[in-house]
Amino acid sequence: MSTVIKGGTIVTADLTYKADVKVEGGKIVEIGPDLSGDTVLDAAGCYVMPGGIDPHVHLEMPFMGTYSADDFESGTRAGLAGGTTMVVDFCLPDPGQSLIDALKRWDNKSTRANCDYSFHMSVTWWGEQVFDEMKTIVEEKGINTFKHFMAYKGALMVNDDEMFASFQRCAALGALPLVHAENGDVVAAMQQKLMDEGNNGPEGHAYSRPPSVEGEATNRAIIIADMAGAPLYVVHTSCEQSHEAIRRARQNGMRVYGEPLIQHLTLDESEYFNKDWDHSARRVMSPPFRNRQHQDSLWAGLASGSLQVVATDHCAFTTDQKRTGIGDFRKIPNGTGGLEDRMPLLWTHGVNTGRLTMNEFVAVTSTNIAKILNVYPKKGAILVGADADIVVWDPKRSKTISAKSQQSSIDYNVFEGKEVTGLPRYTLTRGVVAVEEATVKTREGHGQFVRREPFAAVNKALSTWKEITAPRKVERSGIPASGV
């Protein structure tokens, strides 16, 4: 059984041209004019693009005393409804727990996925066991990325010496380290001070995590990666200070990548000063939303290439879950949703405003991600032989975002009331039509795990440090007597 996507304009990260796309056995088998097949999908007036890849989601994640509310079923359904055909979730071992054991839990949860998925492994503690298991994770389990939390002191945070050891291990294994870059010690001290002064509302969350705290940690992680000879991927880059550190490292020849979230691109810090406690608490995430100046910096980075990827960090909590933080903002579960809305919002605020070209849109929502995570061109491409993960994008379809019509299982949407123009007409996951306009017909369990092999060539450290990585023994004629 073949399907032909007919009459559309193919848009990839570097080309725009008119052609039909034929799909069979879950793969793209032919691209060209006037193709025929058993089923025809009308793409007239639409753009035919690689399905979105969201490289940063937390589905059914144990976090801050609860579990994020969207699981692999509702989360991937939300993604497909918005044109996203692959997600990468974070496997999170408890400190002290075996990475392999933690992965078993994630394998079980993910059997319900409606679209393909992969995992990042988190390094939440350090020891010989982690060092050993990292090799198994890369070579046997098909995971080539390791996440490090520089924040969440007393829970998931790792220290600089642990990061340095882990980054070196990544470099040796051909893996890419990821960092959540915020100075966890400073955040904890600021939080305590705010609480002592009686600032216990959600705005305290924003005050305790200013942009400089993120910029410092980003820069520190970059230096540590450089010394370890590893590339680096900075998740949820939210501010100019962090972007600046990434730009500088790239200019110096390092492979450092930055990932703004759709939330930071379209929502600002005023959300934390709403008179309605629920409104502000629902938007508590780390890093917090920033002001207009930081948003402009992120948009510029996406256009110029100093930032490469747009993600969601989808980590949705219900209003009831958020309310555990009444009286102490430190207890509000950190995280917001966005899986269903990332692509339509980025199109509306990026392509429709002229801030991004259509090709840049494809690059930052799909192709760049596939390349950085080493799954290109299986994913992220409209090419013969690629998986038929395709979105047929109708640039004229509009809607108003609302919790009432969303796929996510939470009771609100942080983008409530925002208009979007540009939505999927069809979303295909390995050739199966999962979404047709407003009709969602996903198949639970259709999603498969996507192995990601180690990188052949990892970063080499900057020349300044490389000169002393192999210390030279100094022959001395004599050593002065000690003591005086």
Residue 282 binding target from Zn ion, ligand URP, none, CB below 5 to 8 Å by type = none
Task: Output 77 or 180, the one with its CB closest to ligand URP.
Answer: 180
Residue, CB closest to ligand URP: 334
Q: Is residue 186 a contact partner of residue 157, using CB atoms and an 8 Å limit?
A: no
Residue 279 binding target from Zn ion, ligand URP, none, CB below 5 to 8 Å by type = Zn ion
Question: Binding to ligand URP by residue 286, rule CB under 6 A?
Answer: yes
Scanning residues 246 to 285, which ones bind ligand URP (CB under 6 A)? 285
Question: Binding to Zn ion by residue 313, rule CB under 5 A?
Answer: yes
Task: Output 130 or 187, the one with its CB closest to ligand URP.
Answer: 187
How far is the C-alpha of 361 from the C-alpha of 347, rounded, in Å? 7
Q: Which amino acid is at 215?
A: G
Question: Binding to Zn ion by residue 180, rule CB under 5 A?
Answer: yes
Binding mask 173-202 for ligand URP (x = CB under 6 A): -------x----------------------
Task: Output 85 or 336, the one with its CB closest to ligand URP.
Answer: 336
How far is the C-alpha of 259 from the C-alpha of 411, rounded, in Å? 27
Shortest distance in whole angstroms from residue 107 CB to ligand URP: 21
Shortest distance in whole angstroms from residue 271 CB to ligand URP: 14
Question: Binding to ligand URP by residue 144, rule CB under 6 A?
Answer: no
Question: Binding to ligand URP by residue 335, rule CB under 6 A?
Answer: yes
Shortest distance in whole angstroms from residue 198 CB to ligand URP: 24
Scanning residues 335 to 374, which ones bind Zn ion (CB under 5 A)? none
The radius of gyration of the chain from alpha carbons, rounded to an integer in Å, stands at 23
Question: Binding to ligand URP by residue 216, rule CB under 6 A?
Answer: no
Question: Binding to ligand URP by residue 120, rule CB under 6 A?
Answer: no
Of 337, 270, 401, 344, nearest in space to 75 by CA: 337
Binding mask 265-294 for Zn ion (x = CB under 5 A): -----------x--x---------------
- Please report, as ranges, the residues that interact with ligand URP according to CB under 6 A: 58, 180, 285-286, 313, 315, 334-335
